[in-house]
Amino acid sequence: MTRLVALADLHLNHRKSRESAEAQARQVVRRGSDVLFMLGDAAVWDGDTLDECLGLFDDFRGAKLFVPGNHDLWTSEPSNDALNLLTDALPRRVAATGWHWLQGSPFRVGDLAIVGNLGWYDLGFSVDSLNIPKPFYEAGVSPGYVLTRGSPKQMIDDARRCEFPGNKLFARWNDTRYVRGARADIFDQCMADLDADLLAVADAKTVVAATHTVPLAGLLPPRRMLQLDFVRAYLGSPKLGGRMLAAPNVRHILCGHSHFPAECDIGPVNAINIGSGYRKKLSVELSLPS
């Protein structure tokens, strides 16, 4: 058997998150496992906190697997194109710290395979009843935000024509500020990599498939307030889960990103959202045949 512990959303750069992230790292290193799997949002690209976060696990003696999250691509430098970070600069940076970059390079232990990547989103989980046209989601702002802030100016007239509740909803998604370049290209890249990785492990008896973002509706948080309903559009894509479920050897699906724990079973597949938030860190432990 192979023992795997999966973490997500350590957000070491965030002041509310550092203490709990460091405490979780100490606990994981002390308990040990065969495989440590980090499902993104370790920190941000800028500065040293990404390397610092991965360095918290230097004394972990098993294999260390990493897939990125959207925050790992955040940068204040406009020239740092996110697709280049994802496919080149970030893999090299992660590998330099002694971690295995998983996207495009599945991990094998005998008959067990682990695949994973960022995942991204395609607005497939957006809530129609909010009455928010697609251009607002693409800009990362609700109509109510545009009307309240008066920005972006070119969207004000369209915001005035929007219906309730979108025209009263004040919300913004910050990937549109800090992830540089064409975000649709990121989703396409992740889908292509997922397809290729699942094909590469088609001979494995047991596959763990993971994305940072949410791949199944059953792993989304419950609907509780309008701002969170707006955010659902950016939590993931049902297309990701569809590809995973189509692979006959996938038995476990993991994700993070939403900061809300969830679990569901679909046929023989057990799916878990780790659910770590800024203040409270959670983990998932699996014992897998290998």
- Residue 175 tokens read as 């990937």
φ and ψ at residue 247, rounded to 5 degrees: -85, 120
Q: Taking residues 166-172, what's their average pLDDT?
A: 95
pLDDT at 85 over 90: yes
Cβ atoms within 10 A of the Cβ of 184, count? 11
Contact call for residues 238 and 122 (beta carbons, < 8 A): no
φ and ψ at residue 263, rounded to 5 degrees: -150, 140
Mean pLDDT of the chain, nearest integer? 96
CA–CA separation, 133 vs 158, rounded Å? Answer: 9
Contact call for residues 78 and 46 (beta carbons, < 8 A): no
Coil/strand/helix, residue 7: strand
pLDDT at 76 over 90: yes
φ and ψ at residue 8, rounded to 5 degrees: -160, 155
Q: Give the model confidence (pLDDT) of 93-132 as tens digits.
A: 999 999 999 999 999 999 999 999 999 999 999 999 999 9
Amino acid at 177: R
Write b or e for each residue in 190-200: b if 16 or more Cβ atoms lie within 10 A of its Cβ, otherwise e.
Answer: bbebbeebbee
Closest by alpha carbon to 284, among 101, 115, 39?
39
Contact call for residues 4 and 65 (beta carbons, < 8 A): no
Looking at the chain, the whole-number percentage of residues with pLDDT higher than 70 is 100
pLDDT of 224 reads 85
pLDDT at 290 over 90: no
Q: Give the model confidence (pLDDT) of 22-36 as tens digits.
A: 999 999 999 999 999
- Residue 281 tokens read as 């860190």
